[in-house]
Amino acid sequence: AQKVTQAQTEISVVEKEDVTLDCVYETRDTTYYLFWYKQPPSGELVFLIRRNSFDEQNEISGRYSWNFQKSTSSFNFTITASQVVDSAVYFCALSEAGGGNNRLAFGKGNQVVVIP
Amino acid sequence: GAGVSQSPSNKVTEKGKDVELRCDPISGHTALYWYRQSLGQGLEFLIYFQGNSAPDKSGLPSDRFSAERTGGSVSTLTIQRTQQEDSAVYLCASSLEGGRTSYEQYFGPGTRLTVT
């Protein structure tokens, strides 16, 4: 069974500080995909990144970066120099390729509050 | 291009009534998903449609829930004899279909259902 754990429920940071969101996953599948989504106060889930299990290369997109480590089953997300617009709930999700339906299993989310 | 659209955005209904929620996926996306987001349960998978294949209903919480997808495009989620525990935000998502490749899912704005 697929499972995603995001231990930190709410994280508050002062603007311009960095914030790292931890994501730990469990799966028996050897081929799987990991995702991060952002849910701002407006409520709509916004896709941020997708990574497959065979690609452990870290990725940077602007102020966002992701660190994928299969050895620790983690896919952590860092926001550098946070801004007020980064205030949102961030969800990590897992999809097993062998599951037959590519459904997303979500973590409980990290509420990030950026204080100006 | 147009994103995933859902209607209505809000629905208040009395316990015991039936409701229909509609989803219009992104054009060209053959995979369509319904999820439910509630405070207690987080984001839960409900049902998955892919092309003309039989839907995967493994996430539906009870037989009061059903869904259909007409013409491989628009989908309707129906909840019969609504209960208060059905109160949640119902999210629809669509994606390209890649068999054992999980493409990113794009979400609609959701329908907030309140059962009184």
Q: What pLDDT, on the 0 to 100 scale, is given for residue B98?
A: 63
Peptide bond preceding A40 in cis form (omega within 30 of 0): no
Q: What pLDDT, on the 0 to 100 scale, is given for residue A92?
A: 98
Asked if A6 and A22 count as a contact pair (C-beta separation under 8 A), the reply is: yes
Q: Reduced to 3 states, what is the DSSP secondary structure of residue A70?
A: helix
The answer to whether A43 contacts B59, with C-beta atoms less than 8 Å apart, is no
Residues of B in contact with A104 (CB under 8 A): 33, 35, 43, 45, 93, 105
Asked if B34 and B46 count as a contact pair (C-beta separation under 8 A), the reply is: yes
Residue A92 in tokens: 């990590």
B77-108: pLDDT as tens digits = 999 999 999 999 999 999 998 677 788 999 99
Q: Cα–Cα distance between A101 and B97 in angstroms, integer?
A: 9
Residues of A in contact with B102 (CB under 8 A): 32-33, 50, 52, 95, 97, 102
Q: Reduced to 3 states, what is the DSSP secondary structure of residue A112?
A: strand
A91 shares contact with chain B (CB less than 8 Å): yes
The whole-number average pLDDT for the span A41-66 is: 93
B35-48: pLDDT as tens digits = 999 987 899 999 99
Asked if A63 and A79 count as a contact pair (C-beta separation under 8 A), the reply is: yes
Residues of A in contact with B34 (CB under 8 A): none
- Which of A31, A35, A103 is nearest residue B100 as measured by Cβ atoms? A31
A60-78: pLDDT as tens digits = 999 999 999 999 999 999 9
The answer to whether B100 contacts A45, with C-beta atoms less than 8 Å apart, is no
Tell whether the torsion through CA atoms of A101, B38, A3 and A85 is positive or negative: positive
Asked if B115 and B54 count as a contact pair (C-beta separation under 8 A), the reply is: no
Q: Cα–Cα distance between B11 and B112 in angstroms, integer?
A: 6
A15-38: pLDDT as tens digits = 999 999 999 999 999 999 999 999
Q: Cα–Cα distance between B31 and B54 in angstroms, integer?
A: 12
